[in-house]
A and B are shown apart, each in its own frame.
Chain A
Amino acid sequence: MKPKIAVFDFTCCEGCQLQILNCEQEMPDLVAALDIITFREVMTERSDHYDIAFIDGSCTTESEIARLKEIRQRAKMVIPIGACACLGGVNCFKNLHPMEDVLKAVYGQAAPYYDTIPARPIHAVIPIDFFIPGCPIVKEEFIRVVQEILAGKAPYLPNDPVCAECKMVGNVCVFDKGQTCLGPVTRGGCKATCVTGGAVCWGCRGLIDEPNINAEKEILEKAGLSIKDIVEEFSLFNACQEDVWK
């Protein structure tokens, strides 16, 4: 029996769902191995009888809490995908302000008709079985996790920092170019795509399990960043992990 798959969107840009669609080469094998029964971005048919729920986006409304609880009840496995679902992501910016102000800023006079609560990652609302980090997710990693689940293995979650892969691909360290980077404390698995492409690491895959935050702050300070800059650096994707880095 092929596992029944559902893909759900919560508060997000839906880019991680697009990454699944971007698995063009593997799509024939994917649909041969999986029974995709709910995926709003892709198809109109839907069913509530699924085994594995992939969840894109963070939880930012009361109604989303109820929806997540229902998904948890129905699914054998719940797997958040992407920075929003795994970390809260950029949505957590709004947590820095009173919710009424946020509502007014976005919806103006219609604000009273909307509900909003501080953004949270999925695991803060319901228990999860695994997660696939990244903004967006790396499609090869999505495929690998599916392969591992199909093979009955525990999916592998990289815990080496981005620096390791960044070195493996032969990049010149961005600190050598006078820039700063969260690579030393950020979970790898992205092949350091951003640095390879000429940018820096902003930490979209979240912190590694035991980050040396003091050492990271020290190198950021040495590179000329103020305390405010450092907080901003960490806040972009990791605002919800404030207790770890602040």
Chain B
Amino acid sequence: MDVFITSKADFDSSIQRMIQQNEIYGVKRKTPSFAFDRLVAAEELCLDYDITVLPPTKYLLPPTESLIKFKLAPEPSIRSSAEAQPCILIGIHPDDLHAIKLLDAVFTGSLTDVNYLARRRATTIVGVDCVNPWPYSFAASMGTAIPPRIFDLWLTDLGDEYLVEVGSARGEDLRKRYLKTRRAREVDLRQRNKVRQDWLKKYQLSLDMPPQEIPKVLDEAWHSPLWEELGQKCLACGSCTMVCPTCICFDVRDGIELNLKEGERYRRWDSCMFDGFAKVASGENFRPTGTARLRHRLYRKGKYMLERYGELGCVGCGRCVHACLVDIASPVAAYNRLAKEAR
């Protein structure tokens, strides 16, 4: 394993040099929260943050994105819009990286999404262990508080230093070009294990079962009174899905210029919580009530995605738990309650 140590002071100046030569998006203060945004100065970077308003997946699947541009005259033509500028994302938490792993399975699996692939290939990932989990997260119990090995570099805060784990050739290149490091010793690795264990204990919410059991719980839960109970309160505002790192649904629309000669097909985040999401051309809506839509969302997170892509659709970040103004979106609360009902 290629593991190194860099002092925080050295790290700051490395970031400053990186900013001068690269497009970098990192975690910045957005009172009273944090947000991934373009870094201009090293001191803006907050690596001890609790949560960001939107997950970093917004750089891989942006809220709106052009898919193709077309021209009807003089000759009809179609051009793909898939292209991406190289960038570095700094400060991704383990749970959000698990979400990226799921997105990779969705968009680069049996069907390749060229837009996603272009962005993903152009993105270098520098993650960091979560030092301060916020009160709404349950990532520890989802097994997502430790990063999957799809990062380029991974940082662990050891007080005055960062432990830097290299995860790819691109990460090694970044380390060599910008970071001033020494090789980590056995004692550093032991220290990382220790602090990671300490941080895991800080999570306040927790799933009452191993995450792999969620599908089994859901198998028995289709007719639970829970759905009606939550559905009645649902604003159908879509906030829970918009802030979710694993939500991937989008709507595709065509726009045409006033000259009616050229236009663009684009996609835009959609939400299964919207009334119109499952409405089809005849006007039929196969999930017409908040109750049906809410149930669908929690089945999708806890069962369908696992069955189809091999990864659970919830990484326990807790953004939906907090974003929901009527307190009904929490997957952990729902799954725990359903498990209790089943017993």
Taking a contact as CB atoms under 8 Å apart, the answer to whether A184 and B242 are in contact is no
Tally B residues with Cβ within 8 Å of A.
Answer: 35
B143 interface hit (Cβ, 8 Å): no
Other-chain residue from B53, B242, B290 in contact with A172 (beta carbon distance below 8 A): B53
Contacts of A147 in B (CB 8 A): 255-258
B63 interface hit (Cβ, 8 Å): yes
| Per-residue B-contact encoding for A160-193, CB less than 8 Å = 1, 0 else | 1101100111111101110000011100000000
Other-chain residue from B30, B258, B290, B325 in contact with A33 (beta carbon distance below 8 A): B258
A215 interface hit (Cβ, 8 Å): yes
Contacts of A173 in B (CB 8 A): 239, 323, 325
Other-chain residue from B58, B260, B271 in contact with A160 (beta carbon distance below 8 A): B271
B234 interface hit (Cβ, 8 Å): yes
Taking a contact as CB atoms under 8 Å apart, the answer to whether B258 and A32 are in contact is yes
A26 interface hit (Cβ, 8 Å): yes
A184-B235, A219-B325, A219-B326 given as contacts; is B33 within 8 A of A210 (CB)?
A: no
Taking a contact as CB atoms under 8 Å apart, the answer to whether B53 and A171 are in contact is yes
Q: List 25 A-B contacts (CB under 8 A).
A: A26-B258, A30-B258, A143-B258, A144-B255, A147-B256, A147-B257, A147-B258, A150-B258, A159-B274, A159-B276, A160-B238, A163-B235, A168-B269, A170-B54, A172-B31, A172-B53, A173-B239, A173-B323, A173-B325, A184-B235, A185-B235, A210-B236, A215-B235, A215-B326, A219-B235
A216 interface hit (Cβ, 8 Å): yes
B188 interface hit (Cβ, 8 Å): no
B342 interface hit (Cβ, 8 Å): no
Contacts of B161 in A (CB 8 A): none
Taking a contact as CB atoms under 8 Å apart, the answer to whether B257 and A29 are in contact is yes
A156 interface hit (Cβ, 8 Å): yes
CB-contacts of B195-238 with A (<8 A): 233-238
CB-contacts of A121-172 with B (<8 A): 143-144, 146-148, 150-151, 156, 159-161, 163-164, 167-172
Give the CA-CA distance A169 to B269 in the complex, in Å.
Answer: 11
| Per-residue A-contact encoding for B51-67, CB less than 8 Å = 1, 0 else | 00110001000011000
A29, A30, A167, A175: residue with the most chain B Cβ atoms closer than 10 Å:
A167
Nearest 5 Cβ contacts at the A-B interface: A167-B242, A163-B237, A168-B63, A29-B258, A164-B238
Tally A residues with Cβ within 8 Å of B.
Answer: 39
Taking a contact as CB atoms under 8 Å apart, the answer to whether B234 and A215 are in contact is yes
How distant is B266 from chain A, measured CB to nearest CB, in Å?
12
A172-B53, A176-B33, A215-B326 given as contacts; is B235 within 8 A of A161 (CB)?
A: yes
Q: A160-B274, A161-B238 known; 9 other A-B pairs, CB under 8 Å?
A: A32-B259, A33-B258, A160-B271, A161-B236, A163-B235, A167-B242, A168-B242, A169-B63, A172-B33
Taking a contact as CB atoms under 8 Å apart, the answer to whether A184 and B325 are in contact is yes
A212 interface hit (Cβ, 8 Å): yes
Contacts of B256 in A (CB 8 A): 147-148, 150-151
Other-chain residue from B242, B258, B259 in contact with A164 (beta carbon distance below 8 A): B242
Taking a contact as CB atoms under 8 Å apart, the answer to whether B258 and A183 are in contact is no
| Per-residue B-contact encoding for A54-72, CB less than 8 Å = 1, 0 else | 0000000000000000000
B275 interface hit (Cβ, 8 Å): yes
A159-B275, A209-B275 given as contacts; is B259 within 8 A of A29 (CB)?
A: yes
Taking a contact as CB atoms under 8 Å apart, the answer to whether A218 and B326 are in contact is yes
Taking a contact as CB atoms under 8 Å apart, the answer to whether A216 and B235 are in contact is yes
How distant is B293 from chain A, measured CB to nearest CB, in Å?
12
| Per-residue B-contact encoding for A199-221, CB less than 8 Å = 1, 0 else | 00000000011101001101100
B15 interface hit (Cβ, 8 Å): no
Contacts of B35 in A (CB 8 A): 170
Give the CA-CA distance A1 to B79 in the complex, in Å.
Answer: 30
Other-chain residue from A33, A184, A216 in contact with B259 (beta carbon distance below 8 A): A33
Contacts of A161 in B (CB 8 A): 235-238
